[in-house]
Protein backbone atom coordinates (compact mmCIF):
# COMPACT_ATOMS: atom_id res chain seq x y z
CA UNK A 1 0.00 0.00 0.00
CA UNK A 2 1.44 3.36 -1.03
CA UNK A 3 2.19 5.83 1.76
CA UNK A 4 -0.45 8.33 0.64
CA UNK A 5 -3.09 5.61 0.30
CA UNK A 6 -2.18 4.17 3.71
CA UNK A 7 -2.37 7.57 5.39
CA UNK A 8 -5.72 8.29 3.76
CA UNK A 9 -7.05 4.92 4.91
CA UNK A 10 -5.81 5.41 8.50
CA UNK A 11 -7.38 8.88 8.82
CA UNK A 12 -10.70 7.92 7.21
CA UNK A 13 -13.63 8.56 9.61
CA UNK A 14 -16.47 7.94 7.14
CA UNK A 15 -19.29 5.70 8.40
CA UNK A 16 -21.99 4.05 6.29
CA UNK A 17 -25.25 3.54 8.24
CA UNK A 18 -27.49 0.84 6.75
CA UNK A 19 -30.97 0.50 8.28
CA UNK A 20 -34.44 0.22 6.79
CA UNK A 21 -35.83 2.52 9.52
CA UNK A 22 -35.32 6.18 8.60
CA UNK A 23 -35.53 7.46 12.22
CA UNK A 24 -32.69 5.12 13.20
CA UNK A 25 -30.58 6.30 10.27
CA UNK A 26 -31.15 9.95 11.17
CA UNK A 27 -30.52 9.37 14.89
CA UNK A 28 -27.22 7.55 14.34
CA UNK A 29 -26.08 10.02 11.68
CA UNK A 30 -26.78 13.04 13.88
CA UNK A 31 -25.09 11.44 16.90
CA UNK A 32 -21.93 10.47 15.05
CA UNK A 33 -21.59 13.69 13.06
CA UNK A 34 -21.69 15.66 16.33
CA UNK A 35 -18.56 13.73 17.32
CA UNK A 36 -16.60 14.45 14.16
CA UNK A 37 -17.54 11.52 11.91
CA UNK A 38 -18.76 11.78 8.31
CA UNK A 39 -21.89 9.73 7.74
CA UNK A 40 -23.55 8.17 4.69
CA UNK A 41 -26.89 6.39 4.94
CA UNK A 42 -28.61 3.58 3.04
CA UNK A 43 -32.07 2.06 3.47
CA UNK A 44 -31.16 -1.42 2.14
CA UNK A 45 -28.35 -3.59 0.85
CA UNK A 46 -28.74 -2.43 -2.76
CA UNK A 47 -28.36 1.22 -1.82
CA UNK A 48 -25.47 0.37 0.50
CA UNK A 49 -23.56 -1.34 -2.33
CA UNK A 50 -24.05 1.72 -4.50
CA UNK A 51 -22.70 4.02 -1.76
CA UNK A 52 -19.70 1.76 -1.21
CA UNK A 53 -18.94 1.93 -4.92
CA UNK A 54 -18.89 5.72 -4.80
CA UNK A 55 -16.85 6.38 -1.65
CA UNK A 56 -14.39 4.60 0.65
CA UNK A 57 -15.72 4.07 4.16
CA UNK A 58 -13.99 3.05 7.36
CA UNK A 59 -16.97 1.57 9.22
CA UNK A 60 -20.32 0.05 8.28
CA UNK A 61 -23.08 0.21 10.93
CA UNK A 62 -25.56 -2.33 9.59
CA UNK A 63 -28.99 -3.49 10.74
CA UNK A 64 -29.34 -7.28 10.84
CA UNK A 65 -32.95 -7.63 9.66
CA UNK A 66 -33.85 -5.70 6.51
CA UNK A 67 -36.20 -6.32 3.58
CA UNK A 68 -34.50 -8.26 0.81
CA UNK A 69 -30.86 -9.09 1.46
CA UNK A 70 -30.09 -9.41 5.18
CA UNK A 71 -27.53 -7.29 6.95
CA UNK A 72 -25.45 -10.41 7.73
CA UNK A 73 -25.21 -11.29 4.02
CA UNK A 74 -24.34 -7.71 3.13
CA UNK A 75 -21.56 -7.47 5.72
CA UNK A 76 -20.19 -10.85 4.68
CA UNK A 77 -19.97 -9.59 1.08
CA UNK A 78 -18.32 -6.32 2.16
CA UNK A 79 -15.65 -8.05 4.25
CA UNK A 80 -14.86 -10.54 1.51
CA UNK A 81 -14.25 -7.72 -0.96
CA UNK A 82 -12.57 -5.23 1.38
CA UNK A 83 -11.34 -6.65 4.71
CA UNK A 84 -10.12 -3.19 5.79
CA UNK A 85 -13.74 -2.11 6.43
CA UNK A 86 -14.79 -2.42 10.09
CA UNK A 87 -18.34 -3.74 10.52
CA UNK A 88 -20.67 -3.26 13.50
CA UNK A 89 -24.03 -5.03 13.57
CA UNK A 90 -27.12 -3.25 14.93
CA UNK A 91 -30.23 -5.24 15.88
CA UNK A 92 -33.27 -5.23 18.08
CA UNK A 93 -32.77 -8.92 18.89
CA UNK A 94 -30.68 -9.75 21.97
CA UNK A 95 -29.44 -13.15 20.81
CA UNK A 96 -26.09 -14.65 21.89
CA UNK A 97 -26.23 -17.02 18.91
CA UNK A 98 -26.68 -14.16 16.46
CA UNK A 99 -24.00 -12.08 18.21
CA UNK A 100 -21.47 -14.94 18.03
CA UNK A 101 -22.27 -15.51 14.36
CA UNK A 102 -21.65 -11.82 13.62
CA UNK A 103 -18.32 -11.78 15.50
CA UNK A 104 -17.12 -15.02 13.90
CA UNK A 105 -17.97 -13.55 10.50
CA UNK A 106 -15.60 -10.66 11.21
CA UNK A 107 -17.80 -7.94 12.73
CA UNK A 108 -16.05 -5.75 15.33
CA UNK A 109 -19.15 -5.00 17.42
CA UNK A 110 -22.79 -5.84 18.15
CA UNK A 111 -25.21 -3.12 19.30
CA UNK A 112 -28.73 -3.87 20.58
CA UNK A 113 -31.61 -1.44 20.05
CA UNK A 114 -32.60 0.71 21.83
CA UNK A 115 -28.99 1.79 22.28
CA UNK A 116 -27.28 4.28 24.52
CA UNK A 117 -25.18 7.12 23.08
CA UNK A 118 -22.02 5.98 24.86
CA UNK A 119 -22.52 2.42 23.67
CA UNK A 120 -22.52 3.56 20.04
CA UNK A 121 -19.52 5.88 20.47
CA UNK A 122 -17.45 3.28 22.32
CA UNK A 123 -18.15 0.60 19.70
CA UNK A 124 -17.24 2.96 16.86
CA UNK A 125 -14.06 4.16 18.59
CA UNK A 126 -12.92 0.59 19.32
CA UNK A 127 -13.68 -0.50 15.76
CA UNK A 128 -11.58 2.35 14.34
CA UNK A 129 -8.69 1.48 16.66
CA UNK A 130 -8.76 -2.21 15.69
CA UNK A 131 -9.08 -1.31 12.01
CA UNK A 132 -6.03 0.96 12.25
CA UNK A 133 -3.94 -1.87 13.74
CA UNK A 134 -5.02 -4.29 11.03
CA UNK A 135 -4.36 -1.81 8.22
CA UNK A 136 -0.90 -1.00 9.62
CA UNK A 137 -0.09 -4.67 10.07
CA UNK A 138 -1.19 -5.46 6.51
CA UNK A 139 0.92 -2.63 5.15
CA UNK A 140 3.96 -3.77 7.11
CA UNK A 141 3.60 -7.36 5.91
CA UNK A 142 3.18 -6.19 2.31
CA UNK A 143 6.36 -4.11 2.55
CA UNK A 144 8.31 -7.11 3.88
CA UNK A 145 7.03 -9.27 1.05
CA UNK A 146 8.09 -6.70 -1.53
CA UNK A 147 11.60 -6.46 -0.07
CA UNK A 148 12.22 -10.20 -0.22
CA UNK A 149 10.33 -11.10 -3.43
CA UNK A 150 13.32 -10.36 -5.65
CA UNK A 151 15.33 -13.03 -3.83
CA UNK A 152 12.99 -16.02 -3.90
CA UNK A 153 9.59 -17.23 -5.03
CA UNK A 154 9.03 -18.63 -1.53
CA UNK A 155 7.29 -15.39 -0.50
CA UNK A 156 4.57 -15.40 -3.14
CA UNK A 157 1.90 -16.46 -0.72
CA UNK A 158 3.75 -15.95 2.57
CA UNK A 159 1.93 -12.84 3.74
CA UNK A 160 -1.69 -13.79 3.09
CA UNK A 161 -4.03 -12.81 5.84
CA UNK A 162 -5.97 -15.84 6.99
CA UNK A 163 -9.04 -16.12 9.19
CA UNK A 164 -9.72 -13.57 11.93
CA UNK A 165 -10.02 -16.04 14.76
CA UNK A 166 -7.19 -15.94 17.25
CA UNK A 167 -6.08 -19.51 16.63
CA UNK A 168 -5.97 -19.21 12.85
CA UNK A 169 -4.32 -15.81 13.03
CA UNK A 170 -1.52 -17.31 15.13
CA UNK A 171 -1.03 -20.15 12.65
CA UNK A 172 -0.93 -17.71 9.75
CA UNK A 173 1.55 -15.52 11.59
CA UNK A 174 3.89 -18.45 12.24
CA UNK A 175 3.70 -19.61 8.62
CA UNK A 176 4.60 -16.12 7.43
CA UNK A 177 7.65 -16.00 9.69
CA UNK A 178 8.78 -19.46 8.56
CA UNK A 179 8.49 -18.52 4.89
CA UNK A 180 10.31 -15.24 5.33
CA UNK A 181 13.11 -16.96 7.21
CA UNK A 182 13.41 -19.71 4.58
CA UNK A 183 13.53 -17.05 1.87
CA UNK A 184 16.38 -15.27 3.61
CA UNK A 185 18.30 -18.53 4.06
CA UNK A 186 17.58 -19.77 0.51
CA UNK A 187 20.50 -17.91 -1.06
CA UNK A 188 23.04 -19.90 0.91
CA UNK A 189 21.16 -23.22 0.54
CA UNK A 190 20.22 -23.61 4.18
CA UNK A 191 17.15 -25.71 4.82
CA UNK A 192 14.07 -25.11 6.88
CA UNK A 193 15.40 -27.68 9.36
CA UNK A 194 17.92 -25.23 10.80
CA UNK A 195 15.15 -22.67 11.27
CA UNK A 196 12.87 -25.22 12.94
CA UNK A 197 15.56 -26.59 15.22
CA UNK A 198 16.77 -23.17 16.25
CA UNK A 199 13.27 -21.86 17.02
CA UNK A 200 12.42 -24.90 19.11
CA UNK A 201 15.72 -24.75 20.98
CA UNK A 202 14.84 -21.13 21.79
CA UNK A 203 11.35 -22.05 22.97
CA UNK A 204 12.61 -24.93 25.10
CA UNK A 205 15.27 -22.78 26.75
CA UNK A 206 12.75 -19.99 27.41
CA UNK A 207 10.32 -22.43 29.04
CA UNK A 208 12.98 -24.13 31.15
CA UNK A 209 14.15 -20.69 32.24
CA UNK A 210 10.64 -20.05 33.56
CA UNK A 211 9.33 -17.44 31.14
CA UNK A 212 5.53 -17.10 30.70
CA UNK A 213 3.91 -19.25 28.02
CA UNK A 214 2.98 -16.23 25.91
CA UNK A 215 6.56 -14.98 25.85
CA UNK A 216 7.88 -18.46 25.02
CA UNK A 217 5.48 -18.69 22.09
CA UNK A 218 6.60 -15.28 20.84
CA UNK A 219 10.26 -16.28 21.04
CA UNK A 220 9.59 -19.53 19.16
CA UNK A 221 7.66 -17.72 16.43
CA UNK A 222 10.02 -14.76 16.11
CA UNK A 223 13.40 -16.51 16.32
CA UNK A 224 13.37 -17.92 12.75
CA UNK A 225 13.78 -14.30 11.61
CA UNK A 226 17.18 -13.97 13.32
CA UNK A 227 19.12 -13.91 10.04
CA UNK A 228 16.58 -12.12 7.81
CA UNK A 229 19.20 -9.38 7.39
CA UNK A 230 21.19 -11.74 5.16
CA UNK A 231 19.03 -10.58 2.24
CA UNK A 232 21.13 -7.40 2.34
CA UNK A 233 24.51 -9.19 2.25
CA UNK A 234 26.16 -9.33 -1.21
CA UNK A 235 26.48 -12.83 -2.69
CA UNK A 236 30.25 -12.57 -3.18
CA UNK A 237 30.62 -12.14 0.59
CA UNK A 238 27.81 -14.38 1.83
CA UNK A 239 28.81 -17.35 -0.34
CA UNK A 240 32.59 -17.01 0.02
CA UNK A 241 34.02 -20.42 1.06
CA UNK A 242 37.31 -19.11 2.44
CA UNK A 243 38.23 -16.88 5.37
CA UNK A 244 36.85 -13.35 5.41
CA UNK A 245 39.04 -10.30 5.08
CA UNK A 246 38.46 -7.66 7.79
CA UNK A 247 36.45 -5.64 5.28
CA UNK A 248 34.29 -8.64 4.37
CA UNK A 249 33.72 -9.49 8.02
CA UNK A 250 32.55 -5.91 8.58
CA UNK A 251 30.02 -6.41 5.76
CA UNK A 252 28.85 -9.67 7.35
CA UNK A 253 28.27 -8.06 10.73
CA UNK A 254 25.87 -5.59 9.14
CA UNK A 255 23.23 -8.30 8.71
CA UNK A 256 22.17 -7.81 12.34
CA UNK A 257 21.50 -4.10 11.74
CA UNK A 258 19.78 -4.81 8.41
CA UNK A 259 17.51 -7.39 10.02
CA UNK A 260 16.59 -4.95 12.76
CA UNK A 261 15.72 -2.22 10.25
CA UNK A 262 13.53 -4.62 8.26
CA UNK A 263 11.55 -5.77 11.30
CA UNK A 264 11.41 -2.68 13.52
CA UNK A 265 8.78 0.04 13.53
CA UNK A 266 5.71 -2.18 13.85
CA UNK A 267 3.15 -2.13 16.67
CA UNK A 268 2.90 -5.94 16.42
CA UNK A 269 4.54 -7.58 19.45
CA UNK A 270 5.76 -10.49 17.32
CA UNK A 271 7.74 -8.24 14.98
CA UNK A 272 9.12 -6.27 17.92
CA UNK A 273 10.54 -9.50 19.42
CA UNK A 274 11.84 -10.62 16.01
CA UNK A 275 13.60 -7.26 15.56
CA UNK A 276 15.27 -7.60 18.98
CA UNK A 277 16.49 -11.12 18.20
CA UNK A 278 17.82 -10.14 14.76
CA UNK A 279 19.68 -7.19 16.33
CA UNK A 280 21.18 -8.93 19.36
CA UNK A 281 21.75 -12.65 18.67
CA UNK A 282 25.45 -11.96 17.88
CA UNK A 283 26.08 -9.93 21.04
CA UNK A 284 28.29 -11.66 23.62
CA UNK A 285 27.84 -11.73 27.37
CA UNK A 286 31.32 -10.28 27.93
CA UNK A 287 30.66 -7.35 25.56
CA UNK A 288 32.85 -8.53 22.64
CA UNK A 289 29.99 -9.25 20.25
CA UNK A 290 28.37 -7.14 17.56
CA UNK A 291 26.82 -4.92 16.34
CA UNK A 292 26.77 -2.76 19.50
CA UNK A 293 29.06 -4.53 21.94
CA UNK A 294 26.33 -4.95 24.56
CA UNK A 295 27.32 -6.70 27.78
CA UNK A 296 25.60 -8.91 30.35
CA UNK A 297 22.00 -8.11 31.16
CA UNK A 298 22.06 -5.12 28.81
CA UNK A 299 21.65 -7.72 26.05
CA UNK A 300 17.90 -8.47 25.81
CA UNK A 301 17.00 -11.89 27.16
CA UNK A 302 15.63 -12.96 23.77
CA UNK A 303 19.01 -12.24 22.16
CA UNK A 304 20.91 -14.19 24.82
CA UNK A 305 18.60 -17.17 24.31
CA UNK A 306 18.95 -17.05 20.51
CA UNK A 307 22.76 -16.83 20.75
CA UNK A 308 22.90 -20.17 22.60
CA UNK A 309 20.41 -21.93 20.31
CA UNK A 310 22.02 -20.63 17.10
CA UNK A 311 25.56 -21.51 18.20
CA UNK A 312 24.61 -25.03 19.28
CA UNK A 313 22.95 -25.73 15.95
CA UNK A 314 25.92 -24.28 14.04
CA UNK A 315 28.33 -26.52 15.96
CA UNK A 316 26.32 -29.73 15.63
CA UNK A 317 25.46 -29.51 11.90
CA UNK A 318 27.66 -29.85 8.86
CA UNK A 319 29.10 -26.82 7.05
CA UNK A 320 31.24 -26.66 3.93
CA UNK A 321 34.16 -25.59 6.09
CA UNK A 322 33.71 -28.18 8.89
CA UNK A 323 31.97 -31.45 9.75
CA UNK A 324 29.23 -31.64 12.34
CA UNK A 325 30.82 -31.74 15.81
CA UNK A 326 29.87 -34.50 18.20
CA UNK A 327 27.45 -33.41 20.90
CA UNK A 328 30.00 -33.82 23.70
CA UNK A 329 32.57 -31.79 21.79
CA UNK A 330 30.04 -29.03 21.06
CA UNK A 331 29.01 -28.90 24.71
CA UNK A 332 32.65 -28.68 25.81
CA UNK A 333 33.31 -25.83 23.38
CA UNK A 334 30.29 -23.89 24.56
CA UNK A 335 31.09 -24.53 28.21
CA UNK A 336 34.53 -22.98 27.63
CA UNK A 337 32.72 -19.77 26.67
CA UNK A 338 30.34 -19.78 29.64
CA UNK A 339 30.21 -16.19 30.87
CA UNK A 340 32.17 -15.06 27.80
CA UNK A 341 30.08 -15.63 24.73
CA UNK A 342 27.07 -17.00 26.62
CA UNK A 343 24.92 -16.03 29.58
CA UNK A 344 26.15 -18.55 32.20
CA UNK A 345 22.78 -19.09 33.86
CA UNK A 346 20.99 -19.66 30.55
CA UNK A 347 23.76 -21.96 29.32
CA UNK A 348 23.40 -24.14 32.43
CA UNK A 349 19.65 -24.41 31.84
CA UNK A 350 20.31 -25.35 28.20
CA UNK A 351 22.76 -28.12 29.11
CA UNK A 352 20.40 -29.44 31.79
CA UNK A 353 17.78 -29.82 29.03
CA UNK A 354 20.02 -31.87 26.73
CA UNK A 355 17.64 -34.84 26.56
CA UNK A 356 14.96 -32.64 25.02
CA UNK A 357 17.53 -30.78 22.88
CA UNK A 358 18.60 -34.06 21.30
CA UNK A 359 14.97 -35.04 20.77
CA UNK A 360 14.43 -31.83 18.79
CA UNK A 361 17.61 -32.43 16.78
CA UNK A 362 16.43 -35.93 15.91
CA UNK A 363 12.96 -34.69 14.99
CA UNK A 364 14.31 -32.11 12.50
CA UNK A 365 17.39 -33.68 10.85
CA UNK A 366 19.13 -32.23 7.81
CA UNK A 367 18.98 -34.26 4.63
CA UNK A 368 21.62 -36.96 4.54
CA UNK A 369 24.86 -35.70 3.06
CA UNK A 370 23.68 -32.10 2.79
CA UNK A 371 26.10 -29.30 3.51
CA UNK A 372 24.77 -26.00 4.70
CA UNK A 373 26.65 -22.91 3.60
CA UNK A 374 26.51 -20.20 6.23
CA UNK A 375 28.64 -17.33 7.41
CA UNK A 376 32.18 -18.68 7.65
CA UNK A 377 32.79 -16.95 10.94
CA UNK A 378 33.31 -19.17 13.98
CA UNK A 379 30.01 -20.16 15.67
CA UNK A 380 31.65 -19.50 19.05
**What is the distance between the alpha carbons of residues 109 and 113, in angstroms, rounded to a whole number?**
13
| 53 secondary structure, DSSP code | H
Sign of CA dihedral 217, 221, 223, 224: positive
Q: Is 322 a catalytic residue?
A: no
Angle among Cα 142, 144, 146 to the nearest 5 degrees reads: 70
Q: Classify residue 177 as exposed, middle or buried by CB count within 10 Å of its CB (0-12, 13-18, 19+).
A: buried
**Which 3 state secondary structure label does DSSP give 205?**
helix
Query: Annotated catalytic residue: which of 167, 193, 230, 272?
Result: 230
Nearest to 129 by CA among 112, 108, 106: 108
Residue 335, C-beta contacts closer than 8 angstroms, at least 6 positions apart: 347, 351
What are 377's strand-pairing partners?
Answer: none
Which residues belong to the active site? 230
Amino acid sequence: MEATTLQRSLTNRTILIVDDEEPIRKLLSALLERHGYTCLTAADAREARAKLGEQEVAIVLCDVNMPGESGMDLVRHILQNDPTVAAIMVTGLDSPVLANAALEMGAFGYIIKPFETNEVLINVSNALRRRRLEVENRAHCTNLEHMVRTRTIALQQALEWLERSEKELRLSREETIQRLAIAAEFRDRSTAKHIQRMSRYCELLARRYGLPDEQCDLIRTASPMHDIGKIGTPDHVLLKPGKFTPEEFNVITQHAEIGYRILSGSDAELLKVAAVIAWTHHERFDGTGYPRGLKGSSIPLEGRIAAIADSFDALTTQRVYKPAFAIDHAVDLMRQHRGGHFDPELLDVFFNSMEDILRIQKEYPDASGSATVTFNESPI
